[in-house]
Structure 1
Amino acid sequence: MIYDNKSYRQNNKRIGQGVKVVNVVLKIVKYTLVVITAMLLIAVFYATGIISTVDLTPFERIVKNSEIYSTKIKFEEGALVNREEFDLFLKFTRSESYPSDFLNKLVSTGVLRVRAKDYEILKDFETEGLYRNDCKELYCFQNYQLFQNIPSDMWKGLIGIEDFRFLSHSGVDFRSILRAIIIDIKEMRMVQGGSTLTQQLVKNLYLTNEKKLSRKLKELIISLYLESKYEKDKILELYFNEVFWGSINGVRVKGVYAASVLYFGKRPAELTPYESAILVSMLKGPNYFHPIKHMERLKKRANVVYEVLKEKSMTPITINYKWNDVTWSNWSKNLEKENNKILYRSLWWTTTEESRFDEYERYVLKIKALEKLSSANYENLAFKAMIKDLQTSNIYSFYSKYERDKEKAIKEEKHQIGSTIKPIVYGIYRKLGLDWNEEVSTAPITVKLKSGDWEPKDSEKINEEFVTASEALVRSINRPLIRLAVKYGFDEIEKELSPKLPDMKKPLAEYPAQLLGAYEISMGSYMDLYENFIIDNCKDFENDSVLLVLSDPTKTTVRKAVGKNLREMRFFGKTGTTNSGYDNWYVAFDGRYLSLFWFGYEGARDGQMLKLYGSTTSFKVFNDYSRDKGKRFNELSCEIINNQ
């Protein structure tokens, strides 16, 4: 056989080239697979890393917060509650009854009588306590709700207007993303985002608003993960609990419960389909569609959302819930009229506290304190309070500056005590033999000190030449107190007073102004001092004790400030005002509760005169709080103290 060597060589060459091509292709495939595998591994590790950082606590927290609390709040026959304060409080209680239904029942059954500005309590009754506030941010209200408590009109409307394939996609709607990209390219700007409700939830919970590809990639991964782990109703449940609905009355509105109550005065289940449509409309931009600032803008969007609900048979079409222009206008005006930041912030503050003290009383105390602070014409003012139940030893403290350390403000920071020291001083005089009917001169008196002569003065002109010792205490006159100190001897008084005031300057004879309150002490220490004083004086209660002498508010330094509800009451009380009005006190005891209130200036004390007094500040808070706290005012006695 004859071979064509040339053809043979050419065939071998082609085969060799083919083999090389195959080898190259195999290498390319091999390396491509390696690269793809590596990329997949990197993607898996990247996704796993992102997923590992996802905090699932919000999903579990909903279940925990659905538990029922047992605390009840008691309201007593013969007491009063402010209508506006009580109505708002009811909306945030844990009662299963709707607030409006519960209130109507109280009125119709003769438990409450409606008056101009308050409710008169005709029979004892109870309410549930407040829901806990789940929002950890400052001035923010949120209460987690189970999916079953969210109106179907609301979540259906949200799906219909924002993510109509929500029930079928797996957390990411790639069709919507592609459509959004095409539209954005055509418009040459960001017109649509294509985000699903799950993606929006992920962004709110875990990410920022920065427009980066890495952020978007994280959003996609977490969305797919959450959808694989939780049912759709759980996703919606968390969405409606975590979304912000803007702010009103100085409080940020987070979640469907807060939005329903703060915007409509209703719980979610009470909302009409159109009201649900309004709230859904606001989610597009809570500030952009704010009902007070942009009512017309919100109205147009709400009408669109409501029509979508009707067109898709997501809400009853036989009843027209749509608002007319008058209803819209009235709603917006009412929101603006009720823009009472103090009321809502007091409620918010109370829901963030952990205390055994009655929730309604704590809520009312904050309102009265913040109202007084807001009406004063000075900056850097603050209010502190301590109330102790001497029967149970429960104690509640409050400091009006939330951003500061309350513990330090109450237990460490010191203030001059002013005339609140006088009952303690007169208690010592009684031990040294003072007769309340003893007449004492009100004339000027000069005390010789090593530092020079000292002449105590009184804040107002005293017309009488002599007053009884009891009258000197009741009217808080300074000169008779010092004259009695000279009579009984500063050394004897120092022996009694020194254990009570450990930081007292000595000898007392050289620093007699301390007897008029020129002494600084923390509120916590002063509460302890006064508790011991009350216990000590209760032993001699029936024998004209200091407590009885200061028990008639129509005769003491608050006689011009006491309200008609307290005028007939008998309770121990004493004001205190230091020089320049920087420290203003009121201490009171009603037979069970010992109250210590301070209202003062925390700025630089450079000699500026403040027209502030204990009777018009701290006592004013005490008076209004006692009137509206929903409890009868206790008559002064020492039965609880002496029976312990």
Structure 2
Amino acid sequence: MGAKPKRRFRGLLIKLLVVGLVALVGYMIYLDAQIKHTFTGNKWEVPAQIYARPLVLKTELEITQKEVIDELKLLGYRHVSRPDSSGEYNVSGNTLVIQRRAFSFPDGDEPLRKVTVTWRGSRINQIMDNSANEAVPKIRLEPWLVTRMVSSSREDRMLVKLKEVPALLPKALILVEDRDFYEHHGVAPLSILRALVANIRAGRTVQGGSTLTQQLVKNLYLTREKAISRKIKEALMALIIDFRYSKEDILQAYLNEVFLGQNGDMAVHGFGLASYFYFDRPANELSPPEIATLVAMIKGPSYYNPRRHEERVLERRNLVLRILFDANEINRTDYEKYINEPLGLASGASLASGKHPAFMDKVRRELSVILADPALRDSGVKVFTSLDIYAQRRAEKAIKQTLDGLQSDRDVQLQGAMLVTDIASGEIRAIVGDRDASFKGFNRALDARRQVGSLIKPAVYLSALEDPASFNLATPIADEPITLENENGQSWSPLNADKKFRGQVPLIQGLTESLNVPTVNLGLRVGLDLVSDTIKRLGVESDFMQVPAMTLGAMSLSPIETNQMYQTISNNGRYIPLHTVTSVVSANDRLVWQHAEFYSQRVDEAASYLLNYALHNVTTQGTAKRVGRTFPNINMAGKTGTTDDYRDSWFSGFDRNNVVTVWVGNDDNKPILLTGAGGALPVFINYQKMQAPKSLSRRFPEGLGIAHFDKHTGAVVTAGCPDSLSVPAILDVLPPPRQDCFGRPLTPKSEKKSWWERLFGND
């Protein structure tokens, strides 16, 4: 070839190289933009973590040592002889020592604390913060992670920070997967060459040459295809990531991205989630053998599945421990101890999905409003809820066991729903939406709209009691046959359950015995528009017709609406919207949203007190007197409800702290032949038997006192008269007694005059 053709060839080659270099630079700029967009922002869809309420321990709190230990076990604490690490405890006699984990609460971070709790009987006597060497009035445990709301990607992970995991974890990762991690620039050609030689010699793939950075690129950005073009793209992206980001950033991303197995149909990504899934504890509490197990699994999470191939995993775990020993990361004594330890796997139940679906359904509905953007819900937020896991489990058990017992002698399939709410805060503690608590379909507690029957009657009586000049608990109400006609000329003649008429009864008797005719008569005297307004003020938002039958519950409400009504009644007329979500915190522990404390005094407090007094009578003398017989030393209140043809059985009741609403019926609206006392009430009683209900304690509102009335006429009488009725009343509006116990007129006592009146007289 002559000089001229050579120059032409060199020129062409240079041009091709320049074009290729420009193309490569352009391609790398494109890849850089792609990497920057993902790596700097949210790299993953991270499920929202849903937490239950934290258990707060206080001095003088009535709680048993066993209840606290049960909570510790639920949180994955380990019982040891000497608690000196996070998540450990020891019990000796009436003393419990806890290494309380550090946790980021919505109102701030709390550090690791060593705490000693002592009991006196069934009450906490003292709480010592050993870390500060001082007695403290209270301390809270971190809340239980109930579940995670996994998105459609079916990937599950819990983000961890490099500084929060044991130092041995990244060291083991680098020693096993990429010894030259801190020396190379994202790609290690010598490692690739070594792996290629080893694989040729073995005749199969026995060694990989990919760096941790390349593995991260493959998992984050690329498919699983084996093409050379994909490997080139992987190498280029690894170079870019190594150039743009620190080794610590890369390592932290790898800790959160690496695939470590399957939890049913969901992929387990990252050491944060794997730590819970395999060992039921946070990653910062992993022991060296547990770290070695997880690192061992990276090579093949299916092949090295510890729940299926224990011996295989033990062998590889011990190989990782040997590597750590050879690198002087663990000493000989520990190494020999660790290789003889079992895998110590947890059941994985703590991360079981679909727990308490009815409660989580309400959480989802609230979150869709609080965090309207789905991307926010999948950004790893922590959602703190009002769930009391013990109340939830007791409610689920009470529904199932009671309905199973009632089902035996009836053909119609019984269904049920139940809510437990905190009176003072409006926080929902438990929701059961199906007899099978694990059922994820129709949520009866929130969506079933059924006739409420006598459960509405307290609203009728409250409407009257808010007019104390006209009504009190002793006011006589007519109990005589009545016939009413509607606009179409159709007649309606309400009857009492026993088909009897009593002529007239005191107002308190009408409610206590749930008499229909007196209730209708009272509603008509008060005015249906006023009764309707009372129902709305109590928290019912559904529409209903203003007809006389509404006084007997001829309206369809959901159990949660009914519970809202009784929350207001039990809270002295103070309305607080029922809710489950209390706070939302971002993945980096910044407060995103907090439930605003809100209440509205919607009902007169004195009238509420009188109504609650009557509802207490219901549980001692009326339709729910089985409550009083079962708990003779505990004051509770409530109301039964039964609808036409015995299609629906209801009960709403409360003690000092919580309101419980129960519905029992059939989805096809067939008669179940159960009254409120026969169906829903036993669920309430069985629930209360599983715990320690607290006796009602309500302060006497100003202006109230005990007054005495004639049972038949409702006239005010003097104390001690036979056949009189002594009940609380608003004293200011009552006239003085006009006669003594024998019917003799009483003259008003002369009032003592002031010196000014005596001197000048008064007209």
- Please give the TM-score of this superposition, normalised by the length of structure 1: 0.68
Partner SS, residue 550 of structure 1: helix
Amino acid at match of 1:29: L
- Using the TM superposition, give the Cα deviation of residue 107 of structure 1 relative to its aligned residue in structure 2, in angstroms: 1.6
CA distance, structure 2, for counterparts of residue 130 and residue 345 of structure 1: 19
Give the corresponding residue for 1:538: 605
Distance across 2 between alignment mates of 1:28 and 1:383: 82
Measure, in 1, the Cα distance between the counterparts of 2:61 and 2:215. 51
- Contact (CA 8 Å) 1:572, 1:590: kept in 2 or not? yes
Q: Is the 8 A contact 2:418 2:445 kept in 1?
A: no
Shift of 1:637: 0.8
What SS class does the counterpart of residue 638 from structure 2 fall into? strand
Distance 1:562 1:263 in 2: 48
Aligned to 2:61: 77
How far apart are the structure 2 equivalents of 1:301 and 1:342? Answer: 33
Match of 1:548 in 2: 613
Could you say which residue in structure 1 is the equivalent of 2:23?
Answer: 39
Partner residue of 2:32 out of 45, 48, 60: 48
Q: Does 1:484 align with 2:518?
A: yes
The alpha-carbon deviation at position 599 of structure 1 amounts to 5.8
Whether 2:322 is the aligned partner of 1:307: answer yes
Aligned equivalent of 2:182, options 156, 167, 176: 167
Structure 2 partner of 1:637? 698
- The 2-side partners of 1:175 and 1:379 are apart by 70
Cα offset, 1:400, TM superposition: 6.7
CA–CA distance in 2 between the matches of 1:141 and 1:364? 26
Q: Write the mapping of 1:231-242 to structure 2, written as runs, cut at 5 A.
A: 231-242=246-257
Which moves more between the two structures, 366-375 or 296-305?
366-375
Equivalent position of 1:424 in the other structure = 459
Note the alpha carbon deviations across 1:571-615, whole angstroms, 9 max, x for none: 433354667998776545556x674646678x9646485989433
Q: Secondary structure at the match of 1:574?
A: strand
Tell me the distance in 2 between the aligned counterparts of 1:568 and 1:365: 22
Q: What is the alpha-carbon distance in structure 2 between the residues aligned to residue 639 and residue 250 of structure 1? A: 57
CA distance in 2, matches of 1:98, 1:351: 30
Q: Which residue is 1:127 aligned to?
A: 140
Pair 1:317 & 2:332 matched:
yes
Q: Which aligned pairs between 1:121-520 and structure 2 lie closer than 5 A?
A: 121-123=124-126, 125-127=138-140, 129-130=142-143, 137=150, 144-180=159-195, 193-207=208-222, 209=224, 216-243=231-258, 245-246=260-261, 255-261=270-276, 263-286=278-301, 288-319=303-334, 320-322=336-338, 324=340, 327=342, 331=344, 335=347, 362-369=388-395, 387=422, 389=424, 414-428=449-463, 433=471, 435=473, 450-451=489-490, 470=508, 473-474=511-512, 477=514, 480=515, 482-485=516-519, 487-488=521-522, 490=524, 492-501=526-535, 508-509=547-548, 512=549, 514-520=550-556
Change (3 A) 1:189 1:59: same
Q: Distance in 1 between matches of 2:669 and 2:223?
A: 46
Deviation at 1:407, TM superposition (A): 13
Please state how far the C-alpha of 1:265 moved relative to its aligned partner: 4.7
Q: Letter of the aligned partner of 2:28 in structure 1?
A: V
In 2, the alpha carbon distance for the partners of 1:344 and 1:313 equals 47
Aligned to 2:754: none
Following superposition, the deviation at residue 277 of structure 1 comes to 1.7
Give the distance between the partners of 1:149 and 1:254, measured in 2 at CA: 17
- Residue 526 to residue 607, structure 1, CA distance change in 2 (3 Å): closer
1:24 maps to: 8
Rounded Cα–Cα distance in structure 1 between residues aligned with 2:28 and 2:187: 18
Equivalent residues of 2:477, 2:522 under 8 A apart: no
Q: More relative contact order in 1 or in 2 (CA 8 Å, sep 6+)?
A: 1
Letter in 2 for 1:43: Y
The CA distance in 2 between the partners of 1:606 and 1:541, in whole Å, is: 33
Change (3 A) 1:572 1:641: farther
- Tell me the residue number matched to 1:14: none
Aligned in 2, Cα 1:361/1:485: closer, same or farther, shift over 3 Å?
Answer: closer
Q: 1:570 — aligned with what?
A: 635
Can you list the C-alpha shifts for 1:461-507, whole angstroms capped at 9, x where unaligned? 899999986566446x4xx2x22135446364524312234677556
Quick one: structure 1 residues 316 and 214, their matched pair in 2 at CA, closer, same or farther if it must change by over 3 Å? same
Kept in 1, the 8 Å contact 2:386–2:427? The answer is no
Q: Give deviations 1:290-338, integer Å, cap 9, x for gaps.
A: 444443333333233223322333312123333658x55xx45x63798
Amino acid at match of 1:539: A
1:201-224 CA-partner distances (Å, limit 9, x unpaired): 334444555656665555433333
Alpha-carbon distance in structure 2 between the residues aligned to 1:88 and 1:368: 15
Q: For structure 1, which runs of at least 5 residues remain unmatched after alignment?
A: 1-16, 63-70
Give the distance between the partners of 2:500 and 2:491, measured in 1 at CA: 28
User: Amino acid of the residue matched to residue 459 of structure 2?
Assistant: I
- Look up the SS of the partner of 1:78 in the other structure: coil
- TM-aligned CA deviation for residue 162 of structure 1: 2.7
Indicate the SS of the match to 1:77.
coil
Residues 188 and 210 in structure 2, CA contact (< 8 A), matched pair in contact too: yes
Secondary structure of the equivalent of 1:568? coil
CA distance in 2, matches of 1:111, 1:133: 26
CA–CA separation in structure 2 for the residues paired with 1:556 and 1:208: 70
Structure-to-structure mapping, 1:590-601, within 5 angstroms: 595=659, 597=661
Which residue number in structure 1 is paired with residue 73 of structure 2?
87
C-alpha separation in 2, matches of 1:100 and 1:563: 43
Q: How far is the alpha carbon of 1:155 from its aligned partner?
A: 2.8
Aligned residues of 1:184 and 1:192 also touching (Cα < 8 A):
yes
Contact 2:318 2:339 in 1 (8 A): no
CA distance in structure 2 between the partners assigned to 1:31 and 1:563 by the alignment: 99
Corresponding residue for residue 589 of structure 2: none
What does residue 117 of structure 2 align with? 111
Give the secondary structure class of the aligned counterpart of 2:331: coil
Quote the RMSD (CA, aligned, Å): 5.8
Asked if structure 2 preserves the Cα contact closer than 8 Å seen for 1:247 and 1:253, the reply is yes
Structure 2 CA distance for partners of 1:122 and 1:239, relative to 1, 3 Å = farther
- The change in CA–CA distance for 1:404 and 1:462 in structure 2 (over 3 A counts) is same
Where does residue 615 of structure 1 map in the other structure?
Answer: 681
User: Whose strand proportion is higher, 1 or 2?
Assistant: 2
1:484 is paired with a residue of what secondary structure?
Answer: helix
Q: Distance in 2 between matches of 1:196 and 1:451?
A: 85
Summarize the Cα distance change of 1:82–1:574 in structure 2 as closer, same or farther, 3 Å threshold.
farther
The Cα offsets for residues 516-556 of structure 1, whole Å up to 9 and x where unpaired, read as 323124677656655665423631466xx220232375667
Q: Does 1:99 align with 2:87?
A: yes
Worse overlay, 490-499 or 346-355: 346-355
Q: Percent sequence identity over matched residues?
A: 23
CA distance in 1, matches of 2:400, 2:233: 46
How far 1:185 sits from its partner (Å)? 6.9
Report the Cα distance in structure 2 between the residues aligned to 1:486 and 1:363, rounded to whole angstroms.
41
SS at match of 1:32: helix
* TM-score between both structures, scaled by the size of structure 2: 0.59
Once residues 627 and 229 of structure 2 are traced to their aligned partners in structure 1, the CA distance between those partners, rounded to angstroms, is 65
Distance 1:276 1:253, change over 3 A: same
